[in-house]
Amino acid sequence: MSPLAHVVALPVRAYRLVLSPWVGHSCRYQPTCSAYALEALERHGAIRGSWLAARRIARCHPWGGSGYDPVPGSDSGDPG
């Protein structure tokens, strides 16, 4: 993970540490949005990883989808 991605991941890690236990474990997607965000940042870096995480969080609403939604592979042809 790039240094900038580490900085961007700090709020996600803080959420998982502080707020996630209070919110509960009722995520619509697998992996959870916070796990998805951390994996996206690790795989794709700060800019694209943040974009992917923001798109995923925007889909998480009562009329959104649910189920298995993995982080897409890199542009180098990695399937996942």
Q: Write the pLDDT tens digit of every residue in 24-59.
A: 777 889 999 999 999 999 999 999 999 999 999 999
Q: How many domains does the chain have?
A: 1
- How far apart, in whole angstroms, are the C-alpha atoms of residue 29 and residue 61? 11
How far from 49 is each of 24, 31, 54, 59, 62, CA to CA, in Å? 25, 15, 9, 16, 24
Give the confidence band of 65 by pLDDT, cuts at 50, 70, 90: confident
Range of the domain at 41: 25-70
Q: What is the CA radius of gyration of the chain?
A: 13
42 belongs to a structural domain: yes
Q: Which of 31, 40, 32 is nearest to 9 (CA)?
A: 40
- How far apart, in whole angstroms, are the C-alpha atoms of residue 44 and residue 66? 23
Give the confidence band of 74 by pLDDT, cuts at 50, 70, 90: low
Q: Is the per-residue pLDDT at 80 higher than 70?
A: no
Global model pTM greater than 0.85: no
